[in-house]
Amino acid sequence: MTGVRQQPPTALTIAGSDSGGGAGLQADLRTFFAHGVHGMTAITAVTVQNSVGVQGVTEIPPGVVADQIRSVAGDIGVGAAKTGMLASAEIIRAVAGALDEVGIGAGHPTPLVLDPVAASMHGDPLLAEQALEAIRTELVPRATVVTPNLDEVRLLTGIDVADTDGQRDAARALVKMGARHALIKGGHLKGATDCLDLLYDGAEFTELSGPRYDTEHTHGGGDTLAAAITAELARGATVPDAVAHGKRFIERCVADSYPLGAGIGPVSPLWRLEG
Ligand SMILES: Nc1ncnc2c1ncn2[C@@H]1O[C@H](COP(=O)(O)OP(=O)(O)OP(=O)(O)O)[C@@H](O)[C@H]1O
Ligand SMILES: Cc1ncc(CO)c(N)n1
């Protein structure tokens, strides 16, 4: 007899491909899988990338990005969505239009996690400079939660964060820009002995603090955190619960990261699948 299972929770990542498999949509799909969530992709760009850097970027035509979103939303359904690398202002505008059409984003039934990826951790650009304004105007107001690192905070808000007070200012600025929640990641905070991410919902701040592991292998850390939050939202969690889960989850992924090639290795969600 064949078992008849129900459709599992589903999540969509709108992101670029990392040929090295550490970050981008590869990290997102691994993380969705580790949460028992069926992952879907709207690919925005193909990067030629390995552990030492990004050697090339080919953008997918904006209409094809939008069609991927429409296709999976119309048939399969999307429990929660996230954005990663979006490459250009044209792709951002096409994504924003498609999200409205299919009912994804703040004010719609399906939550949207906006990871405003601007550069790889090697410093290679993954977003055109002119596209920052499109992120501010088209996507931040649609974000259920926006998850910038400190470089992305500076690019989006102009705020140079040096401590937790700076994280609070940045969170206020992003909520003022229209995000329903802002999670300001502290992974890049210099001199800190712990790793503090700050969540703000427009009224209350929640400090999510954890140990800082002594490893350089944190490639894909931001993607994996945002994907874990997205997976929990797809499973029906509230934003504060999904973010608290994401922080605990990424800690274990950083602790379990591994070397790869000659450069920076990836964080790994696979601890969750080990017996
Ligand atoms: N060394 C570390 N030990 C423990 N947690 C870390 C460490 N570095 C980063 N994190 C956590 O990983 C998550 C990603 O943070 P980070 O600020 O590095 O984002 P990011 O720059 O977008 O990531 P990446 O560019 O590496 O994908 C955050 O929850 C942060 O607290
Ligand atoms: C494709 C892609 N997306 C996101 C990141 C950021 O981690 C990366 N390095 N590559």
pLDDT band at residue 275 under the 50/70/90 scheme: low
Ligand nearest to the CA of 161: 1
Burial 104-117 (b: 16+ CB within 10 A, else e): bbbeeebbbbbbbb
pLDDT band at residue 214 under the 50/70/90 scheme: very high
Q: For the residues 19-34, what does the mean pLDDT come to?
A: 98
Average model confidence (pLDDT) across the chain: 96
Q: What is the pLDDT of residues 54-74, one digit of tens each?
A: 999 999 999 999 999 999 999
Ligand 1 centroid from CA 196, angstroms: 10
Ligand 2 centroid from CA 22, angstroms: 8
Ligand 2 centroid from CA 147, angstroms: 14
Amino acid (1-letter code) at residue 170: A
Q: pLDDT over 70 for what percent of the chain?
A: 99
pLDDT band at residue 4 under the 50/70/90 scheme: confident
In this prediction, residue 1 carries a pLDDT of 59
CB-based burial label for 7 (10 Å; 0-12, 13-18, 19+): exposed
Ligand 1, atom nearest to 218 Cα: 26
In this prediction, residue 116 carries a pLDDT of 97
Ligand 1 binding pocket (C-beta < 6 A) is 23, 121, 149, 185-188, 195, 197, 212-213, 215, 218-223, 225, 247, 250-251, 254
In this prediction, residue 130 carries a pLDDT of 87
Q: Could you give the 3-state DSSP secondary structure of residue 59?
A: strand
In this prediction, residue 3 carries a pLDDT of 76
pTM above 0.80, yes or no: yes
Complex ipTM > 0.85: yes
In this prediction, residue 192 carries a pLDDT of 78
Query: Is the separation of the CB atoms in 135 and 171 below 8 Å?
Result: no
Ligand nearest to the CA of 118: 2
Q: Domain 10-269, CATH 3.40.1190.20 — does that match? A: yes
Domain segments of the chain: what residues? Answer: 10-269
In this prediction, residue 124 carries a pLDDT of 84
HSE value, Cβ hemisphere, 13 Å, CA-based, for 3: 3
Ligand 1, atom 30: closest residue by C-alpha: 187
Ligand 2 binding pocket (C-beta < 6 A) is 15-18, 23-24, 47, 49, 84-85, 117, 120, 126, 220, 222-223
Helix (H) / strand (E) containing 14: strand 10-18
Q: For the residues 91-102, what does the mean pLDDT come to?
A: 98
